[in-house]
């Protein structure tokens, strides 16, 4: 690795670190915001999960080097996320069936 490559990686990691700090500040700030959603925390949940997903993308894409992986790795990850949602939906559907 040349010095130019190392400098490029250092700049990338520094920028990701700064973005993660900003997102952490946004998360803390969002905890103090009243989203005026009656009887639910859907607004706060949406904002919190949106920030968390972006932070997860930054970490996985840059520090775990998923941005430079082959496309088959991306398809496997998407398939894993799909089955995660299927497995999360099974108890919800089971509960709906029991309530009826």
pLDDT tens-digit profile of 49-96? Answer: 999 999 999 998 888 888 777 888 889 988 999 999 999 998 888 877
Q: Determine what percent of the chain is predicted with pLDDT higher than 70.
A: 92
> According to the model, what pLDDT value does residue 16 have?
95
What value does the mean pLDDT of the chain take?
86
Q: Is 49 exposed, middle or buried (0-12, 13-18, 19+ CB in 10 A)?
A: exposed
Please tell me the total count of domains within the chain.
Answer: 2
Q: Are residues 78 and 61 in the same domain?
A: no
Q: Are residues 60 and 77 in the same domain?
A: no
Q: Determine what percent of the chain is predicted with pLDDT higher than 90.
A: 40
Q: Are residues 38 and 86 in the same domain?
A: no
> According to the model, what pLDDT value does residue 4 have?
85
Q: Are residues 20 and 64 in the same domain?
A: yes
> According to the model, what pLDDT value does residue 39 have?
61
Q: Is 19 exposed, middle or buried (0-12, 13-18, 19+ CB in 10 A)?
A: middle
> According to the model, what pLDDT value does residue 51 have?
95
Q: Are residues 18 and 58 in the same domain?
A: yes
Q: What range does the domain containing 50 cover?
A: 1-68
3-state SS class at 10: helix
Pair 22, 28: CB distance under 8 Å: no
> According to the model, what pLDDT value does residue 77 have?
86
Q: Are residues 21 and 64 in the same domain?
A: yes
Q: Are residues 27 and 45 in the same domain?
A: yes
Q: What is the pTM of this model?
A: 0.69
């Amino acid at each position: 690795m040349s010095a130019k490559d190392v400098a490029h990686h250092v700049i990338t990691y520094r920028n990701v670190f700064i973005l993660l700090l900003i997102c952490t500040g946004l998360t803390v700030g969002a905890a103090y915001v009243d989203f005026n959603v009656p009887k639910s925390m859907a607004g706060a949940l949406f904002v919190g999960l949106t920030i968390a997903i972006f932070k997860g993308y930054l970490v996985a894409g840059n520090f775990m080097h998923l941005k430079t992986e082959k496309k088959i790795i991306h398809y496997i990850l998407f398939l894993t996320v799909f089955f995660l949602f299927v497995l999360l939906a099974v108890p919800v559907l089971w509960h709906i069936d029991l309530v009826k």
